[in-house]
Structure 1
């Protein structure tokens, strides 16, 4: 088998230089505003551990490590409830930083109910299963909710918005906080 080497695209180099991207340090911390990750997960209980690891890593890289515990808890609650109510169906999780807040959105494939009593019962079950999420999000001044997903998605959309205090954010924010303590 011939030896293969990775090379950079010669056409991309002038484009990168014009955009001011050539010569950037590779170890530079990503901007907080660029935090935007999406995951498709199997609808099985173990997928919550995968999501926790990915979220914690993404927040650490983007300088948002102080918010990891709350974000991980929120994702775990959203995923756990979806897996319980709609087992063995894929989930789609989105993690974004927008307008001073972390936004977690989970789409599951819960089937649509036709009977209004079933809709009410199912909605109440989901809301009561998310009691811990509700308490934590309320405590930090955020918001959460559920609704029927709009096309092209199907199923149920659940979300949590977790505010971040922007003055403390940025590279080394956690270390500066430790020094003051």
Structure 2
């Protein structure tokens, strides 16, 4: 069982981040949900945990289903003081995410629609050069709201 057991320290430069590589298989989602909840708790952003856990579950399901990759990388970061980004990196740059409409009787095909509904913003970034990308990160951002 993998879990984050040491506290995350804020860096003196840049923004806090956490990343780890896992097998690209559906069962990885459970471990990553726990890690996302742990990290957000350490960052005192537990109010984002449910949405972030749903996002990471769907991103991992998409990578496991639509890529032949053996490994994926979970990235959880704070690109700014007002945003948290959850991302999954895989080595399949030719399989880009796209929203689609699933039929009522379809058993799959709603993952990105769920992400689109719960995230404040989502997208993907190619990694590597423009001519030879080696992979992509599919990510979703959640806005950090002030405590009320």
**TM-score under structure 1 length normalisation:** 0.60
Which residue of the other structure, out of 51, 54, 57, is the alignment partner of 2:32?
Answer: 51
Structure 2 counterpart of 1:146: 124
Structure 2 counterpart of 1:75: 56
Deviations 1:71-91 (A, max 9, x none): 111111111101100145210
Q: Which runs of 4+ in 1 moved over 2 A?
A: 28-31, 126-129
Which residue of the other structure, out of 111, 115, 139, is the alignment partner of 1:159?
Answer: 139
Structure 2 counterpart of 1:171: none
Contact 2:69 2:91 in 1 (8 A): no
- SS in structure 2 at match of 1:155: strand
Correspondence 1:61 to 2:39: no
TM-fit CA distance, 1:34 = 5.5
RMSD of equivalent CA atoms: 2.8
- SS in structure 1 at match of 2:92: coil
How many residues end up aligned between the 2 structures?
A: 127
Contact 1:109 1:155 in 2 (8 A): yes
**TM-score under structure 2 length normalisation:** 0.73
More strand, by proportion: 2
110 and 35 in structure 1: CA distance in 2 versus 1, 3 angstrom threshold: same
89 and 127 in structure 1: CA distance in 2 versus 1, 3 angstrom threshold: farther
Structure 2 counterpart of 1:25: none
Which residue of the other structure, out of 99, 102, 112, is the alignment partner of 1:127?
Answer: 99
Q: Which runs of 5+ in 1 are unaligned?
A: 1-27, 113-121, 169-176
Q: Which runs of 5+ in 2 are unaligned?
A: 1-6, 101-108
Contact 1:85 1:110 in 2 (8 A): no
More helix, by proportion: 1
Correspondence 1:86 to 2:64: no
- SS in structure 1 at match of 2:65: helix
